[in-house]
Structure 1
Amino acid sequence: MLLAQSRFAPASLMGKVGLTLGAAALIALSAKVQVPFWPVPMTLQTMAVMGLAVVLGPRLGLAAMVSYLAAGLAGLPVFAGAAAGPAYLAGPTAGFLLGMAAAMLVTGHLAQGRATLGRGLAMLAGLATIYVPGLLWLSNFVPSERVLAAGFTPFILGDLVKLVVALMLIEGVRRITARR
């Protein structure tokens, strides 16, 4: 059973909606913690998305990511920086954001019922799911020989560290709640 659904969320529709909206808010907050790079800023979103995918599973994780994207499309300033609206999703980071939605499905599905190592491997698969469409879309904005330098090389080490931190947080909370 999924961690959040089995320990924290009620089985009711309202409980799931509340959990989904809370997760979308966490994704928005993680976008605001950033190191400004161009054309793609470094944020804590990969940590939030991967952690939420493991905890919520594929369906609620995807619902949270879609809610986050819908809030940004509607004009709420949830994206990195102060940007919002449809124009932001036509910019250089759009592929990464859409990859995060796909990563919710991939990571959430692969992590179900797995132990710590399996969850970590699911997160790595999710990270690849973010990078592939992200780099492909970014190639519309930077010359192809600079795509890796603009959208991969400065980020990969930090993303791997964020995955380890997310995994440690998940395991810590799981152990604390298992004692109760």
Structure 2
Amino acid sequence: MKNNTQRIAITAVLTALLLIIGPLAINVGPVPMTLQTLIVALVASVASTRVSLTAIGLYIVLGALGLPVFAGYSSGFAVLIGPTAGYLWSFLLYAPIIGLTIKHTSNILALIVANIVAVVVNLVIGTIWLSISTHMSATAAIAAGVTPFVLSGLIKIVVVVLATVLIRQATQKMRLTV
């Protein structure tokens, strides 16, 4: 009972974190610069695959149902088929990519690699959908959907790894299982 209650509570907290931070955005073109990827990566890095996938899935469902939690406080199903939909849907891959990679290790290098892979997958899927949905050439889609986010993506990975190490240390001291 305690583990199930703990898992539900942690899922709720992580979902709330996504709901609060997810809408914050700076428009830099057709793809806004957000903290969504930072929070999604952090959720996937600190929680089990099951918990993180549930939290990310709830975030997407609540946004689809009209809660203004997507970039720029947008919401609705239209966002999930719009130009940035590929980025949002690929959030569901963060949990298994990061979770399965780091499940059996506390190795920081594995955490870094897993986060890099997740970011690359996010950018590839997002940019492919951006190109398809807006009829942009591949070059234009890369210029709009990848290039502006390389530096910020690397910074986010550093922040996620440092935060994950600190959170793991704190949860070990409290004997929590995230």
- TM-score, normalised to structure 1's length? 0.87
Q: Please state if 1:119 is matched with 2:124.
A: no
One-letter amino acid of the structure 1 residue matched with residue 25 of structure 2: Q
Shift of 1:178: 4.3
Match of 1:143 in 2: 137
Match of 1:40 in 2: 31
Match of 2:3 in 1: 11
One-letter amino acid of the structure 1 residue matched with residue 126 of structure 2: G
Q: What is the CA–CA distance in structure 2 between the aligned matches of 1:42 and 1:71, rounded to whole Å?
A: 21
Size of the alignment, in residue pairs? 170
CA RMSD of aligned residues (A): 1.6
One-letter amino acid of the structure 2 residue matched with residue 99 of structure 1: S
Match of 1:73 in 2: 64
- Does the CA contact (< 8 Å) of 1:57 and 1:105 recur in 2? no
Q: Please state if 1:129 is matched with 2:121.
A: yes
Q: What is the CA–CA distance in structure 2 between the aligned matches of 1:176 and 1:59, rounded to whole Å?
A: 21
Match of 1:161 in 2: 155
One-letter amino acid of the structure 1 residue matched with residue 54 of structure 2: A
Shift of 1:122: 1.0
Q: Tell me, which stretches of 5 or more residues in structure 1 are unaligned?
A: 1-9
Q: What is the CA–CA distance in structure 1 between the aligned matches of 2:20 and 2:171, rounded to whole Å?
A: 25
Q: Please state if 1:85 is matched with 2:73.
A: no
Equivalent residue for 2:41, pick from 40, 50, 57: 50
Shift of 1:112: 1.3
Equivalent residue for 1:102, pick from 93, 115, 134: 93
- Does the CA contact (< 8 Å) of 1:31 and 1:78 recur in 2? yes
